[in-house]
């Protein structure tokens, strides 16, 4: 039996064929591991409506429906909804997973449509915006879950990048943050009650092992992880509930104005 990606603490993920997982690679983490880790602290029940935001190639969406019986809107900007539909059909879950092509900043859903929103290893690309949580939280019911899991920092980098990370570090990696940073980022809005913000034990090792399996040529990242050994790098998880009674502002999509002609220059006397 092929033992790749079989881990005792991820029993649900271990049942999925490694070739299927590899064929659906869309990022720098095993989406099933992260989804199982996140779902372990969410009260997901059959029939719930879940937004899987930044779903990549929909592996996490298929997993959520198969394992928890929830209906999932598999939403992504970079990856084809048509290809995701083929994968969803082949998995036999077309009745419960619905592929959507959309930008996280322009989502086509009704307010309070979802019971939960999850984001697997993609939230850092848009969620660091100070105004984004207000925009997103409108789509989940009051009391509903918002949960993220993905690559991050165990603690914030103060000052310059540590020497052992410099060869790998690029400016876009400043989007990575610690659970404490995310907790403060969400709590100060008053929109979310934070239930949990933590790191995965030995997450850096799973991060490295994933790259060794699917991207062994990514030497710089693998070496950075091995040199760091969890001092900064790891997997993070943040879970909150939308606070009931908090009024969320509707996003401004246009400003109504009326042109009135006026003199362009001061008249000369």
Class of domain 13-242: alpha beta
101 token code pair:
């092509």
Residues 63-81: pLDDT tens digits? 999 999 999 999 999 999 9
108 token code pair:
């086509």
Entry pTM: 0.93
169 token code pair:
């570090």
Kindly list the domain boundaries of the chain, sorted by start residue.
13-242
Distance CA 32, CA 120 (A): 9
Look at residue 242 in the predicted model and tell me its pLDDT.
Answer: 97
Cα angle 25, 163, 28 (rounded to 5 degrees) comes to: 5
Parts of the chain with a pLDDT under 50: none
């Amino acid at each position: 039996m092929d033992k790749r990606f079989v881990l005792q603490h991820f029993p649900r993920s271990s049942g999925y064929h490694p070739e299927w997982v590899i064929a659906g690679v869309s990022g720098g983490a095993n989406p099933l591991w992260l989804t199982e880790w996140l779902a372990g602290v969410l009260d997901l029940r059959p029939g719930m409506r879940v937004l899987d935001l930044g779903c990549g190639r929909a592996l996490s969406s298929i997993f959520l429906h198969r394992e928890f019986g929830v209906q999932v809107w598999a939403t992504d900007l970079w990856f084809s909804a048509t290809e995701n539909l083929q994968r969803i059909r082949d998995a036999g879950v077309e009745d419960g997973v619905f592929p959507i092509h959309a930008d996280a900043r322009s989502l086509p859903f009704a307010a309070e449509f979802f019971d939960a929103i999850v984001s697997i290893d993609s939230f850092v690309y848009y969620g660091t915006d100070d105004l984004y949580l207000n925009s997103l939280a409108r789509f989940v019911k009051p009391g509903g879950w918002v949960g993220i899991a993905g690559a991050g920092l165990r603690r914030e980098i103060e000052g310059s990048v540590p020497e052992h990370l410099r060869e790998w570090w690029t400016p876009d990696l400043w989007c990575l943050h610690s659970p404490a940073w995310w907790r403060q980022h969400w709590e100060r809005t008053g929109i979310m009650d934070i239930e949990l913000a933590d790191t995965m034990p030995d997450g850096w090792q799973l991060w490295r092992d994933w790259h060794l399996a699917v991207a062994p040529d990514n030497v710089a990242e693998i070496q950075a992880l091995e040199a760091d050994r969890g001092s900064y790098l790891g997997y993070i998880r943040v879970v909150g509930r939308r606070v009931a009674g908090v009024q969320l502002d509707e996003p401004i999509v246009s400003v109504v104005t009326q042109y009135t002609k006026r003199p362009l220059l001061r008249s000369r006397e």
